[in-house]
Amino acid sequence: MRFTFDGADYDARPGDTLAAALLRNKIHLMGRSFKYHRPRGVLASGAEEPNALVEIDRGGARRTPNLRATVVEVFDGMVARSQNRTPSLRFDIGAVNDLLAPFLPAGFYYKTFMWPVGAWARLYEPMIRRAAGLGRAPELADTDRYTQRFAHCDVLVIGSGPAGLAAATEAAATGIRVILCDEQAAFGGSLLSDPSEALATQLAALFANPRVTMLSRTTAFGIYGDNLVGLAERVTDHLPDPHPALPRERLWQVRAKRIVVAAGAIERPLVFPGNDRPGIMLGDAARIFARRYGANPGTNAVVVTACDTGADVARDLAASGIVIARLVDLREGFRVTGTHGRLRVSSIEIDRGGTRETIACDFVAMCGGWTPSIHLYSQAGGKPRFDPGIGAFVPGTEVTGLTCVGACAGDMPPAYRAGVAPVNAEGRAFVDWQNDVTAKDLKLATREGFRSIEHVKRYTTTGMATDQGKTSNINALGIVAGALGATIPEIGLTTFRTPYTPVTFGTLAGLSRGDLFDPVRTTPMHEWEMARGAVFEDVGAWKRARYYPRQGEDMHTAVARECRLVRDTVGMFDASTLGKIEVVGPDAAEFMNRVYINAWTKLAPGRCRYGVMLGENGFVMDDGVVGRLAQDRFHVTTTTGGAARVLAFMEDYRQTEWPELRVWLTSATEQWAVIAVQGPRARDVLMPLVDGQDISAVAMPHMSVVEGTMLGIEMRLFRVSFSGELGFEVNVPADYGHAIWEAIWDRVQVYEGGAYGTEAMHVLRAEKGFIIVGQETDGTVTPDDVGLGWAIGKAKKDFIGKRSLTRSGMTGPRRQLVGLRTDDPATVLEEGAQITATIEDRRPLGHVTSAYGGTTVGHSIALAMIEDGRARVGATLQVRMPNGAIPVHVTAPVFYDPEGARLDA
């Protein structure tokens, strides 16, 4: 296999990671560090790698930054590039930062880039982001496909090393459903360095078991409530030419009765001056590269160790043909005092009792002990405890439904139990490779007063970024504890958060992109409205036609024309989005009495009433016309946005407070298409369509309802008006909505009428002073505040919210609904603008709630909520507009047909 790295062509073997292939090609320099742009090689061999971050470019939008070279699988023709360097990895001008290091200690940007304030966003932040950083984000939209699966199992085993394999095999033997996942391409974990017949047999048995699901290249990145585990499966990234039907990645949401975490342990680096040069790596990583991949990291090694695994590493490296220049055991009094080599380590300096020695080498293996991977255990709510023998945290408290096994449970051979390794913090001794945090930075943070490890982390950034401190956290804790004279358990541990390793947005989003991102609700007339060029607005999830511009019309002109149509002849309006609830049962009227402020008992079948609903706190929550269809049946309408909330509110009281009432509630919002026909010609339009139904003013007065048919289709016809004109609302089953709309449209054409949208509807209702809940009201408004005190059923002993209307503060001076007029009839006030008594007085008396130009009354209008507003009618106040205050005259909130004569036409 061939691949390129920074344009140069290299060989790879099947099964290689990019890091292994580069090492076999004697390439150690793989990246530049985040802050100082120091040359870096690989530190580790797996998911914990902090340094070797690369970009894989598959062309076009398929360019992925910040991938760990130790995880990326090489395929034939792969194009890989290093990051965070200009112009090249070998010569990077950003490395000047390293010379400035004495001036760039922990938290330097909190101290340095303070002034002037405005320079932060324009100058400092963009500069810092360019200079310090990771890869380049892709610029094109992701063209790949991602899928999601849900799965259930009895046991989910995470990790396929010896402990995980044993757990999976044991569980599978009992015939239960098992899922075994591993982040690597192959199963076996640490066994992969010594592949055996036994491993092959064990894996074959698991693969052959139909009750076992084997997921490789699959990272368990997070544990959520009640054993829900998120798995990210990389399906095609390792393939040179993936089948187009395959998704790039797959998110598994697994609900497991039992989780077995067999995540293993991560080796710790040693902290000494110059420990970050390319060629200085973890001992186990060196061993894995040499034995599993046949990619010796060099020919002449120094092994530095704080525990007995050093001898094992030296032996295994020697067995791979590597000369061991020296095994330096820190427990024998040695200290590492420095290293040399610009782009790769060439020698290491050690010291014992003042005797210095420089040893030439071409790589260094560090054995600093092992840290159990308790990330998932901790995410699941487990409280870890510190194990001084291991020198790290291990699972402490029990977690229901979760077991840790193997090294992540602290179950490791004595040689691996290294305790806390000694630190030489002189010079540039790195603790966190990815964030360029040195031991000195951590000590500085403690000197500057940071005590909590959480604060030290935020100040120094240790343990942050893509590797989340997998190799650095324990060393950082030890240094902070030492500086504060405390123990590691006293310092505590930073929180383990999801995800364990980075997960792509694509995997999390799955199919929820573009049109599938958010559901859209459309009415039966939507296609018609689209065809007529309607401009839509979003109301909740609904798409509503806002206005229907004709050629050359802007919104203002179109809305003004639509308003005129309704006033002069007839307009039709798609009101299908109105919430509709069928309230049915022998106790329906009693239920309505309790829920609404209005009185319902005496409302005769065939009549309607404008209903107002309060919260228990006495404030207006929703409104809408209610028709009584029969003694035991009400057709309730709600605001478009309030439908679900109102039904849930009613259900709550029905189920929990008044279970004795025989009443049932059914949402009918989507069942009925609603066509409002409004205007002086509304009756003429409908007359021939209603199959002989008498809809004369006598038979069907304002606020009445009949059930009949329209062109043979079931119909509920309401005579109601939200425009102030003679008006009807035709309800027909949704499936017939479009056909009936077309039939009415033909009739409307006879009278030179037309369709109008929500904007004209708003203007028309505002001219009449009809409120919109959520526009005039804001959850602090009583019925009386908006002039609806008349609607309260005075004889009723109780209804929801009644008691609150007499609480203190509810009856004193309150903001009330009024109208506002400007001197210039063309001036349209700003909705939300504050209102004061005079220009000098800055105390707000209230605010503008609705304001419109293009009205049918010859001047702009506004509604406002103003303190003691009704007593101020006739007064002049000031509205604080963006360009200064302008005077307004307070009026009654009704600008058109105040007597309501047109409603009764």
Partner 1 sequence: MKLIPCPICGERAEIEFTYGGQAGLTRPADPAATTEAEWGAFLYARENPKGMHRERWRHIHGCGQFFNLTRDTVTDRFIP
Q: Is 226 in the site for partner 1 (CB under 8 A)?
A: yes
Whether the CB-CB separation of 472 and 463 falls below 8 Å is answered with yes
Strands 280-282, 355-360: pairing kind: unpaired
Residue closer to partner 1 by CB (options 495, 656) is 656
For residue 787, the minimal CB distance to partner 1 (Å) is 24
Contact residue for partner 1 among 130, 342, 356, 803 (CB under 8 A): 803
Judged by CB under 8 A, which stretch of 50-58, 63-71, 219-227, 363-371 contacts partner 1? Answer: 219-227
Could you give the C-alpha distances from 368 to 71, 325, 790, in angstroms and in order?
22, 19, 81
For residue 585, the minimal CB distance to partner 1 (Å) is 16
- If we measure between CA atoms, which residue out of 901, 841, 830, 831 comes closest to residue 877? 841
Number of residues written out for the chain: 905
Q: Is 652 in the site for partner 1 (CB under 8 A)?
A: yes
Residue closer to partner 1 by CB (options 223, 713) is 223
- If we measure between CA atoms, which residue out of 633, 610, 632, 634 comes closest to residue 622? 610
For residue 148, the minimal CB distance to partner 1 (Å) is 13
Helix (H) or strand (E) holding 152: strand 146-158
For residue 798, the minimal CB distance to partner 1 (Å) is 6
Judged by CB under 8 A, which stretch of 5-13, 523-531, 644-652, 854-862 contacts partner 1? Answer: 644-652
- If we measure between CA atoms, which residue out of 738, 737, 733, 703 comes closest to residue 720? 703
Judged by CB under 8 A, which stretch of 288-296, 651-659, 761-769, 875-883 contacts partner 1? Answer: 651-659
Q: Is 651 in the site for partner 1 (CB under 8 A)?
A: yes
- Residue 836 one-letter amino acid: T
Contact residue for partner 1 among 209, 358, 522, 804 (CB under 8 A): 804
For residue 276, what are the contacts with CB-CB under 8 A and spacing of at least 6? Answer: 33, 38, 40, 51, 428, 430, 433
- Contact flags string 357-386 toward partner 1, x per CB under 8 A: ------------------------x-----
Q: Which two tokens stand for residue 207?
A: 């693969």
Only one residue has tokens 């691996």, namely: 416
For residue 644, the minimal CB distance to partner 1 (Å) is 9
Q: Is 495 in the site for partner 1 (CB under 8 A)?
A: no
For residue 384, the minimal CB distance to partner 1 (Å) is 16
Residue closer to partner 1 by CB (options 551, 808) is 808
- If we measure between CA atoms, which residue out of 807, 793, 792, 775 comes closest to residue 893? 775
Q: Is 655 in the site for partner 1 (CB under 8 A)?
A: yes
For residue 253, the minimal CB distance to partner 1 (Å) is 8
Only one residue has tokens 């279970």, namely: 659
DSSP 602: T
For residue 228, the minimal CB distance to partner 1 (Å) is 5
Distance CA 376, CA 159 (A): 12
Contact residue for partner 1 among 495, 551, 656, 883 (CB under 8 A): 656
Q: Is 225 in the site for partner 1 (CB under 8 A)?
A: yes
Whether the CB-CB separation of 148 and 511 falls below 8 Å is answered with yes
- If we measure between CA atoms, which residue out of 895, 850, 843, 842 comes closest to residue 867? 843
Q: Is 657 in the site for partner 1 (CB under 8 A)?
A: yes
Sign of the alpha-carbon torsion through 425, 430, 431, 437: positive
For residue 215, the minimal CB distance to partner 1 (Å) is 20
Whether the CB-CB separation of 754 and 548 falls below 8 Å is answered with yes
Size of the site for partner 1 (CB under 8 A): 22
Q: Is 243 in the site for partner 1 (CB under 8 A)?
A: no
Judged by CB under 8 A, which stretch of 225-233, 324-332, 574-582, 698-706 contacts partner 1? Answer: 225-233
Distance CA 136, CA 545 (A): 42
DSSP codes joined into one string, 59-108: STT-EEEEEETTTPBP-TTEEEEE-S-SB-SSSBGGGHHHHTGGG--TTH
Q: Is 443 in the site for partner 1 (CB under 8 A)?
A: no
Span 579-638, contacts to partner 1 by CB under 8 A: 616-617
For residue 776, the minimal CB distance to partner 1 (Å) is 23
Q: Is 398 in the site for partner 1 (CB under 8 A)?
A: no
Q: Is 521 in the site for partner 1 (CB under 8 A)?
A: no
Whether the CB-CB separation of 266 and 370 falls below 8 Å is answered with yes
For residue 804, the minimal CB distance to partner 1 (Å) is 7
Judged by CB under 8 A, which stretch of 431-439, 800-808, 817-825, 855-863 contacts partner 1? Answer: 800-808
Distance CA 821, CA 855 (A): 13
Residue closer to partner 1 by CB (options 225, 244) is 225
Judged by CB under 8 A, which stretch of 184-192, 351-359, 675-683, 798-806 contacts partner 1? Answer: 798-806
For residue 224, the minimal CB distance to partner 1 (Å) is 5
Q: Is 228 in the site for partner 1 (CB under 8 A)?
A: yes
Residue closer to partner 1 by CB (options 455, 807) is 807
Q: Is 353 in the site for partner 1 (CB under 8 A)?
A: no
Distance CA 703, CA 453 (A): 69
Residue closer to partner 1 by CB (options 269, 801) is 801
Judged by CB under 8 A, which stretch of 646-654, 684-692, 773-781, 851-859 contacts partner 1? Answer: 646-654
Contact residue for partner 1 among 103, 116, 139, 400 (CB under 8 A): 400
Q: Is 802 in the site for partner 1 (CB under 8 A)?
A: yes
858-862 long-range contacts, Cβ below 8 Å, gap at least 24? 858/825, 859/821, 859/822, 859/825, 860/821, 860/822, 860/825, 860/826, 860/827, 860/828, 860/829, 861/766, 861/767, 861/819, 861/820, 861/821, 861/895, 862/819, 862/820, 862/821, 862/822, 862/828, 862/829, 862/888
At 5, phi and psi to the nearest 5?
-130, 120
Q: Is 807 in the site for partner 1 (CB under 8 A)?
A: yes
Distance CA 66, CA 755 (A): 55
Judged by CB under 8 A, which stretch of 72-80, 106-114, 568-576, 796-804 contacts partner 1? Answer: 796-804
For residue 454, the minimal CB distance to partner 1 (Å) is 20
DSSP 840: S
Judged by CB under 8 A, which stretch of 75-83, 626-634, 783-791, 799-807 contacts partner 1? Answer: 799-807
For residue 257, the minimal CB distance to partner 1 (Å) is 11
| E-only strand ranges, 268-354 | 280-282, 300-305, 323-329, 335-340, 347-352
Q: Is 515 in the site for partner 1 (CB under 8 A)?
A: no
Residue closer to partner 1 by CB (options 478, 618) is 618
Residue closer to partner 1 by CB (options 616, 691) is 616
Residue closer to partner 1 by CB (options 227, 236) is 227
- If we measure between CA atoms, which residue out of 845, 846, 837 comes closest to residue 876? 837
Contact residue for partner 1 among 241, 798, 840, 899 (CB under 8 A): 798
For residue 651, the minimal CB distance to partner 1 (Å) is 7
Q: Is 148 in the site for partner 1 (CB under 8 A)?
A: no
For residue 236, the minimal CB distance to partner 1 (Å) is 28
- SS3 category, 561: helix
Whether the CB-CB separation of 802 and 593 falls below 8 Å is answered with no
258: β partners: 155
String of b and e for 397-420 (b: at least 16 CB within 10 Å)?
eebeebbbbbbbbbebeeebbbbb
For residue 336, the minimal CB distance to partner 1 (Å) is 45
- SS3 category, 149: strand
> Which value, to the nearest 10 degrees, does the dihedral of the CA atoms of residues 580, 585, 590, 592 take?
0
Binding site for partner 1 (CB under 8 A): 224-226, 228, 255, 381, 400, 616-617, 648, 651-652, 655-657, 797-798, 802-804, 807-808
